[in-house]
Amino acid sequence: MREYKQFYINGQWVDPVTPNDCDVINPANEEVCGQISLGSEEDVNRAVAAAKTAFESYSRTSRQERIELLESCVETYKKYYADIANAIREEMGAPASLAMTAQAYTGQGHLEEALRVLRDFEFEEDLGDHRLFKEPIGVCGLITPWNWPVNQISCKVAPALAVGCTMVLKPSEVAPLSAYLFSQVMHEAGVPAGVFNMVNGDGKAVGTALSKHPDVAMMSFTGSTRAGSLVAQNAAPTVKRVTQELGGKSPNIILDDADLEAAVTRGLVHMYNNTGQSCNAPSRMLVPRHKLAEAEKIAAKVSASVVVGDPADEKTTMGPVVSEVQFKKIRKLINAGKKEGAKVVCGSTRRPKGMDKGYYIRPTVFSEVTNDMVIAREEIFGPVLAMIPYDTEEEAIRIANDTPYGLAGYVQSGDVGHARDVASRIRAGNVHINGASGGFDVPFGGFKQSGNGREWGSHGFTDYLEIKAVEGFGR
């Protein structure tokens, strides 16, 4: 069992002001796999004070100094790579193959991308006789979720380090083990004392204290729309910048000219990736009504091929959901879909055969769903697909946009030009044509209640910068 009860503040591992032990549960077997301590407002105050002091010097470091620091972070991360992957598997149930090839890799990928952008990023721009400077915003509060734990940490920490900000990280208390290891990477890589700080805790105590703190210049939050709204409300009195990457209920429009088998298969495989626990999962599949029966057969076949099991088993393609709370919520929503009259193509609320422990959910597909049903409106955050029939392309686009969310959209078509036209009408921050996905250089973020601001690549630098205009600079 991993015991990570200290916080990382001002370049040192320190004990909490008031110890408050919290178990970390392995969702594959419901056993304790680690322990952390939950922090308090006093711990946040210590971390913010360290970050505020460090900002005075770190904000004035040269580009070359920060390049060398990020290079060290990348190389140190590689040393911890396998342990980080194993921690992610233990804390949130990601299959070993996914944890190693995708989950852990994102941490390295964002560090490498920030390094690439930093080498040529323009921090100054002339405007006639005036000069515009892009300067680090100050102390940043970073709150990250459990579903892609290192991805969301790294895509915030990397650009903040690159532009000269200091920071306090609050990772999810549900999956905090990989965050501890990431903090160790920062320490061994030589990040100056106070530049990077980490305090474990829940949203009510640590998240609120961080969001309200007058010395925090900006908050970067990833999580539920409900929690993101609370962060913004807590931050409002101090008029700090708040950026949010929130929920999603992303539409996947399969157009009439698409290869149905390929499109449905692609959509289901993506949906079941990470056990459906991705904010941009294509959870609403829109299918031409006259092809619905055929699409149901394909969906049932694909779902039957999913290997649900122990994340440590290399044959497993889908692990458990992260916690008992999520397990109960997902089963409740599956029952809601049945009560509302949606057709169950496959799946149920019962655990897969032979699994008496662990938060396992069967791959579940509903068909004949209407867009006003609960399973079409709420972010289920599990391996549950809502298949919605449509009669015309205009209706499909209307249904796709009829959601409070706008994180992602998907379009499947045999004609790329046709797909581009439909993609242009979807109100979402990222739209994927025929299964294409962006790299670490492509901005990620949403419209509407899916948030504001953009992360990843050069766009990810923007939220951590202020613009200063020095007029008459060139005279």
Other CB atoms within 10 Å distance of the CB of residue 255: 19
The three-class DSSP label of residue 354 is coil
Annotated active-site residue in 73, 140, 279, 346: 279
Sign of the Cα pseudo-torsion (85, 86, 87, 91, in order): positive
- 192 DSSP assignment: P
Q: What are the distances in angstroms from CA 472 to CA 122, 124, 409, 465, 475? A: 20, 15, 46, 22, 6
**Angle of helix 63-92 versus helix 104-120 axis, rounded to 10:** 170
Structure tokens at 13: 């591992």
Structure tokens at 78: 């590689």
Cβ contacts of residue 80 below 8 Å, gap of 6+? 181, 182, 184, 185
Task: Write down the number of H helices and E strands in the chain.
Answer: 15, 21
Q: What are phi and psi of 142, to 5 degrees?
A: -120, 120
Q: Which of 150, 384, 383 shows the shortest CA–CA distance to 275?
A: 383
Annotated active-site residue in 112, 245, 296, 455: 245
- 137 DSSP assignment: -
Other CB atoms within 10 Å distance of the CB of residue 85: 25
What does 216-232 look like in DSSP terms, one character per residue?
A: --EEEEES-HHHHHHHH
C-alpha to C-alpha distance for 296 and 293, rounded to whole angstroms: 5
Residue keyed to tokens 């005075």: 56
User: Are 75 and 45 contacting, i.e. CB atoms less than 8 angstroms apart?
Assistant: no
C-alpha to C-alpha distance for 289 and 166, rounded to whole angstroms: 53
Structure tokens at 153: 């940490």
User: Are 349 and 335 contacting, i.e. CB atoms less than 8 angstroms apart?
Assistant: yes
Is 91 designated active site? no
Is 245 designated active site? yes
Q: Which of 418, 384, 390 shows the shortest CA–CA distance to 402?
A: 390
C-alpha radius of gyration, the chain, whole number: 23
Sign of the Cα pseudo-torsion (159, 162, 163, 166, in order): positive
Catalytic residues: 245, 279
